[in-house]
C-alpha cells in the first residue's frame, strides 16, 4: 500500500544536508519592514460571514479589522479571493482581476485595503500562477483548438504521440497529472487537480499577462505576493521520462525547473522592484542553495521563502524534539547572514497548531498553545500566524469522509478505496492531518455557529467553541489570545528577537528547547518545555541577575543549581533577559 498518500505535496522537500554552518562572526542582517513584521494569515472562507450564506467574506473581515489590529500584527496574508469555481477553495482562479462572488465585490476589496492601511496593517495576497482554473477563459480558449492563440498558455501533449511520460498529480483520484481531452485529442498537464491545469511559463505572452495582473493589484495598493507552488512553475517541456518511483520524491523532479530563476528575475524587474512589496515563495527548493538562490538580496528575485521540513515533523505518533531542534537550528544557521526565512508551524494546508505540535487535552491545551506561540515569536525570521491559532483552536477530527469539504482528501479517500487500502486507517490519520481541521470557522463567541454566521456554515463549527472562543478569551487576561498579544508586542519592543544571533543551549535535552538571541549588547534566553512533564533545563549560562520578561505561567521557574539550571513545568515557556 502506498505510504505517502496524505497531502504528499506537504512533505519535506528533501533538503540536502548541505553542511552549511553558521558563520562565526555574524553581522546583523539588513533591516526591512517585512523582516520585522508579524504576519497574520486569514482564511477568508472561514473567518467571518457578513451576509448569512455560511461563507466568510470580505465584509466579514472588514467588520473584524479592529480585532486584527488589536493583535498587534502588521501584515495580513489573505488566501485567494479571486473569482473561482472553488474546486480547491480559490486556488483555482478563473479571473485574476475579479473578486469571488462568495466573498463580495471589488468595492468591498477597496474598503478592506483602505481599512487595513488606515490601521497601519499591510496586505499580502496569494498569487496562484503555477496553474489556473480550467474555467479560466485562457483555458477555455486553449482547449478549443490546437491553433488557438492561447493553446500554449498551458502544457499539451498530442495523443498521436502516444501517452506522455508519467507525471504525478497531487490531488487527482488516480494521481495521473495528464488528463485526456477529446476536443483536440490531447492531454493537458495538471500537477494539482484536473480543474487546475498548469500554466506554461515558457510562453512570454503568459508571463506578460501575469505581470499585468500583479501590477493591477500592486496599483491597488497591496503590499506583497505569496507565490503559490511557484517552485513547480518551470518545467522541462520536453517532458523526459522520470525514473521509476520518482513520485515518492516528486519534489526533486518538480521543484526549481529550467529558467525558474530567469522568470523570477524578470518578475522582479517588471513588477516587484517597482513597488514597495514583498515576495514570498511557497517552498524553498531542494537544498539550502536553492533557498538562497530564491531569496538572497543580491539576486533580485524574492524576499523570503518558506520551507516545509519544520512543519512536516509532526506525526500522529508524535515527534522528536531533538529532530525539531536540529531542523530549526540548521535552517537558522544557513540564513544567519544572507537571505531571510518565514517561520510557521501551521497554515490553511495543515491541521491545527496545538493539535499537531502541542497537546490539545483540556489540561494542556492552553500552556502548550502559548508555548508554541512563544517559539514562533522568538526565533529569527518572519513569523506567520494562522487565524484561530491565537485562540488555541483545535482539530475537529471528523469521523466520516462525508464530513470533509476538501477536494484533496475526498479524492485521496476514493483512491485508497480504488486500491483496496485500509480506508479506516486513512480516516484515522486524517483526524490528525487533514487540512479541513484548520479550516473550520473562526470561533468568535459562544452564540450559534460560534458567531461566524447566521446561516449554515459551509463546514461544521468545532463544537468546542462553547469554551474556546474570542469573546471569552478577551475577558481573561491569561487567555491564549491575550498571551499572543503580549508576545507580539514583546517582539516589536525587542528587535533582538527579529535580527539577533541565535544559539541553541542544552542541545541534547529531549524535552526542552532552550536558546539565546543576542544583538548589540542585549541577550535574551528562551526556555521552552515541549513536554507534559516537569523537567529541567541545563542552560549553563552565567546569570548575574536574570530578569524574567515573559512567561506562560504566572510564577517564574524555580532556579536550580546556581544560575545555570531551571525547573520547568509542563509546556512552560519563559523568557529571561541576560544582558
Ligand atoms: C498550495 C496552497 O497552499 C494549497 O492550498 C493549494 O491546494 C495548492 N497550492 C494548489 O494551489
pLDDT tens for 3-37 read 334 444 343 333 333 333 344 467 778 899 999 99
Q: Considering only CA atoms, which residue is closest to atom 6 of ligand 1?
A: 91
Q: If you search the block for the grid coordinates 518558506, which residue do you land on?
A: 306
Question: Cell for 375?
Answer: 517559539
Helix axis angle, 407-418 relative to 423-433, nearest 10°?
160
Does residue 74 line the site of ligand 1, with CB under 6 A?
A: no
Q: Which residues contact 401 (CB under 8 A, 6 or more apart)?
A: 409, 410, 413, 423, 427
The neighbour count for residue 544, using CB atoms within 10 Å, is 7
Work out which ligand 1 atom sits closest to the CA atom of 91. Answer: 11
- Average pLDDT of each block of 10 consecutive residues along the chain (579 residues)? 39 33 62 97 98 99 99 98 98 98 98 98 98 99 98 98 98 98 98 98 98 98 98 98 97 97 98 98 95 96 94 96 98 93 97 98 98 98 98 98 98 98 98 98 98 98 98 98 98 97 97 97 96 94 77 81 81 92
Which of 88, 108, 228, 360 is labelled catalytic?
Answer: 228
Question: Cell for 68?
Answer: 486584527
Q: Distance, CA 159 to ligand 1 centroid (Å)?
A: 29
- pLDDT digit string (tens) for 103-153? 999 999 999 999 999 999 999 999 999 999 999 999 999 999 999 999 999
Which helix (H) or strand (E) is 144 found in, with range? helix 137-144
DSSP state at residue 553: S
The Cα-based distances of 3 to 170, 191, 534 in angstroms read: 14, 19, 36
Does residue 88 line the site of ligand 1, with CB under 6 A?
A: yes
- 3-class secondary-structure state, position 499: helix
Backbone angles phi, psi at 62, to 5 degrees: -55, -40
- Say how far apart CA 131 and CA 196 lie, in whole Å: 6
Sign of the CA dihedral with 368 first, then 369, 370, and 371 last: positive
Pocket test for ligand 1, best of 128, 197, 283 (most atoms within 8 A of CB): 128
427-442 exposure pattern, b = at least 16 Cβ within 10 A, e = fewer: beebbbbbbbbbbbbb
Q: If you search the block for the grid coordinates 499572543, which residue do you land on?
A: 484
Q: Which residues contact 423 (CB under 8 A, 6 or more apart)?
A: 401, 413, 416, 417
- Say how far apart CA 51 and CA 59 lie, in whole Å: 8
**Among 361, 329, 355, 389, CA closest to 514:** 329
Assess contact for 44 and 57: CB atoms under 8 A: yes
Q: Distance, CA 524 to ligand 1 centroid (Å)?
A: 37
- pLDDT digit string (tens) for 363-381? 999 999 999 999 999 999 9
Amino acid at each position: 500500500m502506498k505510504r505517502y498518500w496524505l497531502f504528499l505535496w506537504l512533505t519535506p522537500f528533501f533538503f540536502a544536508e548541505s553542511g552549511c554552518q553558521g558563520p562565526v562572526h555574524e553581522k546583523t542582517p539588513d533591516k526591512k519592514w517585512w523582516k520585522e513584521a508579524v504576519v497574520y494569515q486569514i482564511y477568508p472562507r472561514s473567518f467571518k460571514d457578513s451576509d448569512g450564506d455560511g461563507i466568510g467574506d470580505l465584509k466579514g473581515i472588514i467588520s473584524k479589522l479592529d480585532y486584527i489590529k488589536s493583535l498587534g500584527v502588521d501584515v495580513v496574508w489573505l488566501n485567494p479571493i479571486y473569482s473561482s469555481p472553488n474546486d480547491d477553495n480559490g486556488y483555482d482562479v478563473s479571473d485574476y482581476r475579479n473578486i469571488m462572488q462568495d466573498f463580495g465585490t471589488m468595492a468591498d476589496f477597496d474598503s478592506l485595503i483602505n481599512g487595513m492601511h488606515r490601521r497601519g496593517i499591510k496586505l499580502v495576497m496569494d498569487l496562484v500562477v503555477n496553474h489556473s482554473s480550467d474555467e479560466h477563459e485562457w483555458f477555455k480558449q486553449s482547449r478549443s483548438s490546437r491553433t488557438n492563440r492561447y493553446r500554449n498558455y498551458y502544457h499539451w501533449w498530442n495523443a498521436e504521440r502516444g501517452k506522455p511520460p508519467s507525471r504525478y498529480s497531487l490531488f487527482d483520484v488516480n494521481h495521473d497529472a495528464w488528463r485526456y481531452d477529446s476536443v483536440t485529442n490531447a492531454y493537458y498537464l495538471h500537477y494539482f487537480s484536473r480543474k487546475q491545469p498548469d500554466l506554461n511559463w515558457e510562453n512570454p505572452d503568459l508571463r506578460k499577462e501575469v505581470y499585468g495582473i500583479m501590477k493591477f493589484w500592486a496599483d491597488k495598493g497591496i503590499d506583497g505576493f505569496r507565490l503559490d507552488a511557484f517552485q513547480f512553475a518551470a518545467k522541462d517541456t520536453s517532458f523526459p521520462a522520470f525514473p521509476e518511483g520518482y513520485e515518492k520524491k516528486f519534489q526533486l523532479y518538480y521543484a526549481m525547473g529550467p529558467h525558474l530563476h530567469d522568470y523570477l528575475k524578470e518578475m522582479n524587474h517588471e513588477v516587484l522592484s517597482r513597488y514597495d512589496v514583498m515576495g514570498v515563495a511557497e517552498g524553498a527548493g531542494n537544498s539550502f542553495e536553492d533557498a538562497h538562490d530564491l531569496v538572497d538580496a543580491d539576486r533580485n528575485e524574492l524576499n523570503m521563502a518558506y520551507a516545509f521540513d519544520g512543519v512536516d515533523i509532526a506525526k500522529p505518533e508524535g515527534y522528536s524534539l531533538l529532530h525539531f531542534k536540529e531542523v530549526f537550528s540548521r535552517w537558522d544557521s544557513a540564513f544567519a547572514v544572507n537571505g531571510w526565512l518565514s517561520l510557521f508551524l501551521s497554515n490553511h494546508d495543515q491541521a491545527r497548531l496545538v493539535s499537531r505540535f502541542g497537546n490539545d487535552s483540556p489540561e494542556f491545551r492552553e500552556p502548550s498553545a502559548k508555548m508554541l506561540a512563544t517559539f514562533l515569536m522568538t526565533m529569527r525570521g518572519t513569523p506567520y500566524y494562522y487565524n484561530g491559532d491565537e485562540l488555541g483552536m483545535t482539530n475537529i477530527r471528523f469521523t466520516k469522509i462525508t464530513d470533509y469539504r476538501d477536494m484533496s482528501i475526498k479524492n485521496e479517500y476514493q483512491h485508497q478505496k480504488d486500491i483496496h487500502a485500509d480506508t479506516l486507517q486513512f480516516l484515522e490519520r486524517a483526524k490528525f492531518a487533514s487540512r479541513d481541521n484548520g479550516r473550520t470557522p473562526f470561533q468568535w463567541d459562544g452564540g450559534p455557529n460560534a458567531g461566524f454566521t447566521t446561516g449554515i456554515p459551509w463546514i461544521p463549527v468545532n463544537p468546542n467553541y462553547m469554551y474556546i472562543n474570542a469573546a471569552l478569551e478577551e475577558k481573561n487576561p491569561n487567555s491564549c489570545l491575550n498571551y499572543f498579544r503580549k508576545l507580539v508586542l514583546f517582539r516589536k519592543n525587542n528587535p533582538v528577537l527579529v535580527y539577533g544571533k541565535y544559539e541553541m543551549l542544552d542541545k541534547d535535552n529531549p524535552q526542552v528547547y532552550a536558546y539565546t538571541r543576542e544583538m548589540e549588547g542585549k541577550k535574551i534566553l528562551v526556555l521552552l518545555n515541549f513536554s507534559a512533564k516537569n523537567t529541567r533545563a541545563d542552560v549553563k549560562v552565567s546569570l548575574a541577575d536574570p530578569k524574567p520578561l515573559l512567561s506562560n505561567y504566572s510564577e517564574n521557574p524555580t532556579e536550580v543549581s546556581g544560575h545555570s539550571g531551571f525547573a520547568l513545568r509542563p509546556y512552560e515557556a519563559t523568557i529571561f533577559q541576560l544582558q
